[in-house]
């Protein structure tokens, strides 16, 4: 394929040559222009990338006319994020901060997640709290996998070190703690941030149509060119049995992010009342409580915030979550909850309803 300057040179030489008729000149020029523009507009092809990262799996569909080294780029993104924020990696920045090191200068990824966490912490009035991990472990909801019933004095002691407002980010990008025992954990929001970084990679490489899924969180941009439809994604039905895969609803994901938090397949029933509920920890009181909010799906402008809001809503419960919606903008929700008759019910914002596929 010739570049533009070569085409212009050919055109000029052809015009100057008086050996052809004007009609032949015009036809020749037209053919050159058609060839030039047809070569420039290659049709985007569908590509798939999938694998494991950040303790979960990912699946990406994208359309690109040029060849991209996506696998290498993804490996680099995941490596950098793990080095910054993985609590499962002993030498990560966040692990070293939790171990008491005070001279760690965090990177820009850490700063972005910290500031987004601070925003959701403030907007949720403390119900989203990245320092709640000590309580999670105390109740046995963490990796150990069995539920404990800690004594009130144990909870009171732990509560001394709970509160995102007991941390600060200094101007020279260091984390300052009110107490050295404060434990920081971004697992409830870092996955969403990783998706946003991947989306930025595609944007910077002129990919206009893609769907990114990482551990159930998603970002969709453009359309599914193959079917000439918006990207369609599903929300699981919490009533499905183990081994089943049934959906509560399907929606179009158009230039937004979707994150869901909840206990699919694992909500419990009170043996005395028969009521459905999930366990959640109130970071303001330190107490575990029952909630009838079974899952929270959130549409937002980016997946970092969608991930954080979904976690916040699960801690808030249904009614407080509705109140929070009045305090924030550009967020739509789909809540699945157990109503007073112990039936599965749905609360959906108008913006979310608009995206549901009939």
**Distance between CA atoms of 112 and 217, rounded to whole angstroms?**
18
Q: What is the pLDDT of residues 316-327, one digit of tens each?
A: 999 999 999 999
Integer Cα distance of 36 and 322 in angstroms: 56
What residues does each domain of the chain span? 4-40, 51-177, 208-355
Q: Do the Cβ atoms of 215 and 191 come closer than 8 Å?
A: yes
pLDDT for residue 268 is more than 70: no
What was the pLDDT predicted at 236?
81
332-347 residue pLDDT tens: 999 999 888 878 899 9
Q: Kindly list the distances between the CA atom of residue 251 and the CA atoms of 247, 315, 345, in Å, as whole numbers in the listed order.
A: 11, 25, 18
Q: How confident is the model at residue 291 (pLDDT cuts 50, 70, 90)?
A: confident
| pTM, to two decimals | 0.84
pLDDT confidence of residue 20: 46
pLDDT at 248: 85
pLDDT at 80 over 60: yes
Task: Say whether pLDDT at 58 is over 50.
Answer: yes
Least reliable range by pLDDT among 36-40, 61-65, 98-102, 288-292: 36-40
Q: Is 116 left (phi over 0), alpha (psi -120 to 50) or beta?
A: alpha
Q: Do domains 51-177 and 208-355 have the same CATH topology?
A: yes
User: Which band of pLDDT confidence, cut at 50, 70 and 90, is reported for residue 95?
Assistant: very high
CATH number, span 208-355: 3.10.520.10
- C-alpha dihedral (331, 259, 117, 108), degrees to nearest 10: -110
The matching CATH number, chosen from 3.40.50.10490, 3.40.50.720, 3.10.520.10, 3.40.50.1220, for 51-177 is: 3.10.520.10
Mean pLDDT of the chain: 85
CA-wise closest residue to 181 among 154, 155, 158: 158
DSSP per-residue letters across 277-335:
EEEEE-TTT--EEEESEEEEEEEESSHHHHHHHHHHHHHH-HHHHHHHHTT-SS-EEEE
């Amino acid at each position: 394929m010739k570049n533009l300057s070569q085409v212009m040179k050919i055109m000029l030489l052809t015009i100057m040559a008086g050996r052809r008729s004007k009609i032949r000149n015009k036809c020749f020029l037209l053919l050159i222009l058609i060839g030039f523009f047809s070569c420039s507009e290659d049709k985007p092809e569908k590509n798939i990338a999938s694998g494991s990262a950040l303790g979960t799996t990912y699946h990406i569909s994208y359309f690109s006319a040029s060849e991209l080294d996506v696998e290498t780029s993804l490996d680099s993104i995941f490596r950098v994020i793990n080095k910054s924020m993985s609590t499962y990696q002993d030498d990560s920045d966040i692990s070293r901060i939790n171990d008491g090191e005070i001279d760690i200068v965090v990177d820009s990824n850490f700063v972005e997640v910290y500031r987004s966490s601070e925003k959701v912490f403030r907007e949720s009035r403390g119900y989203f709290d990245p320092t709640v991990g000590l309580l999670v472990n105390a109740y046995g909801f963490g990796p150990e996998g069995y539920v404990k019933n800690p004594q009130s004095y144990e909870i009171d002691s732990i509560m001394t070190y709970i509160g995102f407002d007991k941390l600060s980010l200094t101007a020279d990008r260091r984390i300052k703690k009110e107490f050295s025992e404060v434990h920081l954990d971004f697992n409830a929001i870092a996955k969403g941030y990783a998706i946003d970084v991947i989306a930025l990679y595609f944007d910077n490489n002129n990919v206009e149509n893609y769907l990114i899924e990482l551990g159930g969180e998603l970002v969709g941009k453009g359309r599914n060119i193959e079917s000439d439809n918006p990207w369609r994604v599903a929300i699981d039905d919490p009533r499905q049995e183990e081994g089943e895969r049934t959906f509560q609803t399907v929606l179009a994901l158009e230039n937004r992010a979707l994150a869901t938090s909840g206990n699919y397949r694992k909500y419990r029933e009170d043996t005395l009342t028969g009521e459905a509920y999930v366990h959640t920890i109130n970071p303001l009181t330190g107490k575990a409580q029952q909630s009838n909010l079974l899952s929270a799906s959130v549409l937002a402008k980016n997946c970092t915030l969608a991930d954080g809001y979904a976690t916040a809503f699960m801690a808030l419960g249904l009614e407080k979550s509705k109140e929070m919606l009045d305090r924030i903008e550009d967020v739509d929700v789909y809540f699945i909850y157990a109503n007073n008759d112990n039936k599965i019910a749905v609360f959906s914002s108008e913006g979310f309803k608009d995206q549901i596929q009939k």
